């Protein structure tokens, strides 16, 4: 990617766990980043979350205090998507519901002034073609950039072009992921769950079913996979880290497209989400974190 084509003006819509992580890595890579939330207060909280993450990095020797301060200087917070008008790439990282993502992508298509600006979705499971088809002529600029939590730590990014995405947009996105962010991309098919979640979600659901049926305790399920299969984290703790609402949303999308029983959400998962026990982000999920 030439200097003229290099992406350095980035927007992120959604300042939650994933959105703040994406914004952090982009700002650390030298990009000017605008984080947009539904209100200025929530946008400011997202930047504060990033600042706290950077300070943890300083305390662990991962970056210097000067690097952290420079990163914060490249971040700004806004409660209005109009402040994204000049961005070269915007990543939507809102809740994993198709209607919400369609609303954001549609608004961005109207707001972005650069006709070559990339509209990227961090969706975990929703087919990209459904998002692209909703924005008419901008459909060639829409693709998936699926990061993994925690974004500052995990190097993988799934790049998901749809049947409508232009090859040049896919290549620009790949160059941004590799040359600017220093991440490791794979190209994933535009099907529900893409590559990683199509494999991961059935595994997580199987662990939840095992717990639901009383076949093993949560502790034994997780320790079995960590100590017996060398997984860094057990499936139930991983589900809590991802967010049980996100696991449920991805499972529902996969089941709706594939109609395979292994993608069907267990009743226990549905009950936990209904109870507001969403995992680490709420302090309660399969496990309690308070």
* Catalytically active residues, by annotation: 124, 146, 158, 197
Burial class (CB in 10 A: 0-12, 13-18, 19+), 241: middle
Residue 143 β-bridge partners: 120, 161
Cα separation of 8 and 172, whole Å?
12
Q: Determine how many CB atoms are found less than 10 A away from the CB of residue 36.
A: 30
Cα separation of 96 and 99, whole Å?
9
**C-alpha distance from residue 102 to each of 26, 106, 146 (Å):** 24, 6, 16
Residue 176 DSSP symbol: I
Q: Residue 251: enclosing H or E segment and its boundaries?
A: helix 244-258
Closest to 186 (Cα-Cα) out of 153, 214, 69, 178: 178
Q: CA end-to-end span of the chain, whole Å?
A: 47
Closest to 157 (Cα-Cα) out of 132, 120, 131: 120
Closest to 87 (Cα-Cα) out of 181, 183, 15, 13: 13
Pinpoint the alpha helices (H) of 162-242: 167-175, 196-212, 218-229, 235-242
Burial class (CB in 10 A: 0-12, 13-18, 19+), 144: buried
């Amino acid at each position: 990617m030439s200097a003229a084509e290099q992406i350095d003006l980035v927007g992120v819509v959604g300042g939650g766990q994933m959105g703040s992580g994406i914004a952090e890595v982009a700002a650390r890579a030298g990009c000017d980043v605008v984080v947009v939330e539904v209100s200025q207060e929530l946008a400011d909280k997202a930047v504060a979350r990033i600042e706290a993450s950077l300070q943890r990095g300083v305390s662990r020797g991962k970056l210097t205090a000067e690097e952290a301060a420079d990163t914060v200087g490249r971040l700004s917070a806004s409660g209005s998507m109009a402040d994204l008008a000049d961005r070269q790439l915007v990543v939507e990282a809102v809740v994993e519901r198709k209607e919400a993502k369609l609303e954001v992508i549609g608004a961005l298509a109207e707001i972005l002034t650069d006709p070559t600006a990339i509209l990227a979705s961090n969706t975990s499971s929703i087919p990209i073609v459904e998002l692209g088809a909703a924005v008419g002529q901008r459909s060639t600029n829409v693709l998936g950039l699926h990061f993994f939590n925690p974004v500052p730590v995990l190097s993988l990014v799934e790049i998901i072009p749809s049947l409508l995405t232009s090859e040049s947009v896919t290549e620009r996105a790949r160059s941004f992921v590799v040359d600017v962010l220093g991440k490791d991309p794979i190209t994933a098919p535009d099907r529900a769950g893409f590559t990683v979640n199509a494999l991961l979600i059935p595994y997580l659901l199987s662990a939840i079913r095992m717990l639901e049926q009383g076949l093993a305790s949560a502790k034994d399920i997780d320790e079995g996979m960590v100590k017996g299969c060398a997984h860094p984290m057990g499936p139930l703790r991983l589900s809590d880290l991802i967010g049980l609402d996100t696991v449920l949303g991805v499972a529902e999308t996969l089941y709706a497209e594939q109609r395979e029983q292994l993608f069907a959400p267990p009743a226990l998962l549905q009950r936990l989400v209904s109870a507001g026990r969403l995992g680490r982000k709420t302090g309660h999920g399969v496990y309690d974190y308070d």
